Amino acid sequence: MRKMLIIYLSFIFFSGPTFSAGSMDLDEYLEGMNVKTSDVRSLQRGAKNFFNNCSGCHTLQYMRYNQIAEDLGITEDQLMQNLIFTESSPQDLVMNNMLSEDGNRWFGKAPPDLTLVTRRKSPEYVYGFLNSFYEDNGSPTGVNNHVQEASSMPHVLWDIEERFSDQEYSQFLNDTVGFLVYAGEPIIEKRKSMGVWVIGFLLIFLILSYALYKDIWREVK
């Protein structure tokens, strides 16, 4: 029982949301990364960043506009004015007007849906990818990417990166990646909160079970 108690305590105090970069190349471009899905203001800014800079090519086909608005405390007027740039209604899925064949012709392949990108690739990968573009005259887009060589995506954030300080650009990326983490798992904060209660219950149950065990065997002896 003592070993079980040690295991439970180790799980509580040492387990948590860890982000493994996965490669030394990626580590180089994670400076300033501090994604917080618990910060609603950050998620609101991230939503604005996504819809103003990414939604022309990328979709969030498993999310609805009104779900985003409800989760992030955005009014319907704010939603219509700042996040919906197509003929979509608030109850519609987050799509765009780009045809797959146009995406294939312009970029070599259609831009992917980003709903689950941080779950497939990890938040670190997305942050590092957006933070590692460089000029490459041999590329059709004029740029390349240290994290994903020969990427067909142009550096759409070049103007923002040039105008912002390093700290401001890092915050921009943190907000954007945080929003994509939320989009991949809208209940992420509820899950974390529930996990704390579950672990707490198991810990109390373990203590009571151990006390009962000691009491029973004391009478046996």
What pLDDT does 217 receive? 78
Q: Which of 191, 199, 195 is nearest to 37 (CA)?
A: 191
CB atoms within 10 A of CB 44: 19
6-61: pLDDT as tens digits: 444 454 444 444 444 444 479 999 999 999 999 999 999 999 999 999 999 999 99
> Containing H/E element for 62?
strand 60-64
In the chain, domain spans: 21-186, 187-221
> For helices 166-184 and 123-130, what crossing angle results, to 10°?
140
Question: Which parts of the chain are beta strand (E)?
Answer: 60-64, 93-94, 133-135, 143-145
> Containing H/E element for 143?
strand 143-145
Q: What is the residue-averaged pLDDT of the chain?
A: 86
Mean pLDDT computed over 131-155: 93
Q: Greater confidence, 205 or 104?
A: 104
**The token pair that represents 195 in the structure block:** 């996990």
Instruction: Report, in angstroms and rounded to the nearest whole number, the Rg of the chain calculated over CA atoms.
Output: 23
Residue type for position 203: L
CATH of 21-186, one of 1.10.760.10, 1.10.3720.10, 3.50.7.10, 3.20.20.140: 1.10.760.10
Q: How far apart are CA 59 and CA 55, in angstroms?
A: 6
Mean pLDDT computed over 87-101: 92
